[in-house]
Amino acid sequence: MSDDHKQKMQERQAKQRAKVAELQDPEKGLVLIHTGAGKGKSSSAFGVIVRALGWKQKVGVVQFIKGKWKTGERQFFDRLGEVTWHTMGEGFTWDTQDKERDIAAAQAAFAKGREMMESGDYDLIVMDEINIAMRYDYLSVEDVIAGLDARDKRTAVILTGRDAKPELCDYADLVTEMTEVKHPFKAGIKAQRGVDY
């Protein structure tokens, strides 16, 4: 084994040990990704919000959503009044007539999320459907990673949406993929209030 190789391996080991030590810190907020084509990416983030609120933690949400329609989660948390909630420009849809306007809206929403992440005021921040904004290049994955890296380290962040970028998955502490195992009559099941939105 060359000295050069040995040194590389030692560096790698040191880096890995530092990462393990960092993760063992109970005060560290993790970066979690919910992705995949199955159900449950956003709803499990809302479930984690419920858990966090149960422990009296402070929670923020930025929703990079597809459209302006009412959702059950928004109505619930509005009524509850305990979660700081930002939704990207009303009327926004991903199949847009004005791409420049939509890019500006996505970037403004992320700027808000970044401000919240850096503030140190939050135990948990959910960036709902942000992976879609990256998939359409409305946000660059480099900017999102830079924002996560600049966050207050006690703040956990959940990023949801299908097609999470590989670079983001590399950066994250934990990636969960939701897979549809059985959906035999997909065309036949309409989205339902409560279950789906």
Site string for its own copies, 76-95 (x = CB under 8 A): xx-xx---------------
C-beta of 62 vs 106, nearer to its own copies: 62
Q: Choose which of 124, 127, 130, 133 interacts with its own copies (CB under 8 A).
A: 124
Q: Choose which of 151, 156, 159, 165 interacts with its own copies (CB under 8 A).
A: 156
Q: For residue 127, state whether it binds its own copies (rule: CB under 8 A).
A: no
DSSP secondary structure string, 29-89? PPEEEEESSSS-HHHHHHHHHHHHHHTT--EEEEE--SSS---HHHHHHHHH--SEEEE-S
**Helix, strand or coil for residue 159?**
strand
CB 109 within 8 A of CB 147: no
- Given the rule CB under 8 A, which of 15-23, 86-94, 111-119, 141-149 is the region that contacts its own copies? 15-23
Say how many C-beta atoms besides its own lie within 10 A of residue 90's C-beta. 9
Residue 191 per-residue DSSP state: P
| Residue 49 to residue 36: CA distance in whole angstroms | 20
Q: Choose which of 84, 143, 162, 175 interacts with its own copies (CB under 8 A).
A: 175
| Residue 158 to residue 148: CA distance in whole angstroms | 10
Site string for its own copies, 44-83 (x = CB under 8 A): xxxxxxxxxxxx-x-------------xxxxxxx-xx---
C-beta of 58 vs 103, nearer to its own copies: 58
Residue 120 CB, shortest distance to its own copies, in Å, is 16
